[in-house]
């Protein structure tokens, strides 16, 4: 299954989800009908990993991840990189209805996905990892 790796922290009560970074809108492209509007999917070319424990917000981060526009504009408050080699990145929501979203630039054509995540604290918060295809199929954790 063609899938983007999507990491998102969102309020469960949020009625309108922002569009997922680089995911295609299925109404504009129907891969099941071999639609000519569908552009080729860039895929990971071999074993790939991203270590949030060693990450910071720099060019390498944006080369791997698409960051939603609201988070990009307020990244100092929404993305906190621990920088200690063991606590990764803290994705923060400062107001109701926010949904900070990280979407990979590449597709996962096959393979294994391993994620180590800590669930968000607080009532009404959802921490989720999603694999989503162009046809709208998804696997949620």
Q: What does pLDDT average to over the chain?
A: 76
CA 28 to chain centre: 21
Q: Is 69 helix (H, G, I), strand (E, B) or coil?
A: helix
Q: Supply the pLDDT for residue 41.
A: 82
Mean pLDDT of 28-34: 75
- pTM check: above 0.85: no
Structure confidence by residue, pLDDT tens digits, 78-117: 898 988 888 888 888 888 888 888 888 888 888 888 888 8
d(CA 62, CA 8): 16
Contact call for residues 132 and 23 (beta carbons, < 8 A):
yes
Residue 137 is predicted with a pLDDT of 83
Judged by average pLDDT, the poorest of 1-15, 20-34, 50-64, 127-141 is: 1-15
pLDDT at 77: 87
Tokens of 54: 């060693």
Q: Residue 11: beta bridge partners?
A: 125
pLDDT at residue 122, as a whole number: 80
Residue 33: count of CB within 10 angstroms of its CB: 10
């Amino acid at each position: 299954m063609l899938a983007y790796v999507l990491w998102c922290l969102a309020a469960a009560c949020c009625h309108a989800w922002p569009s997922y970074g680089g995911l295609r809108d299925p109404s504009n492209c129907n891969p099941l009908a071999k639609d000519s509007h569908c552009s080729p999917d860039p895929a990971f070319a071999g074993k790939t990993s991203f270590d949030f424990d060693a990450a910071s917000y720099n060019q390498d981060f944006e080369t791997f991840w698409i960051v939603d526009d609201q988070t990009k504009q307020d990244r100092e408050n929404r993305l906190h990189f621990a920088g200690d080699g063991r606590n990764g990145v803290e994705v923060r929501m400062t107001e109701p209805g926010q949904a900070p979203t990280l979407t990979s630039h590449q597709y996962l054509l096959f393979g294994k996905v391993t994620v180590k995540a800590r669930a968000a604290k607080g009532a009404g918060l959802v921490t989720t990892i999603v694999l989503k295809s162009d046809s709208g199929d998804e696997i949620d954790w």
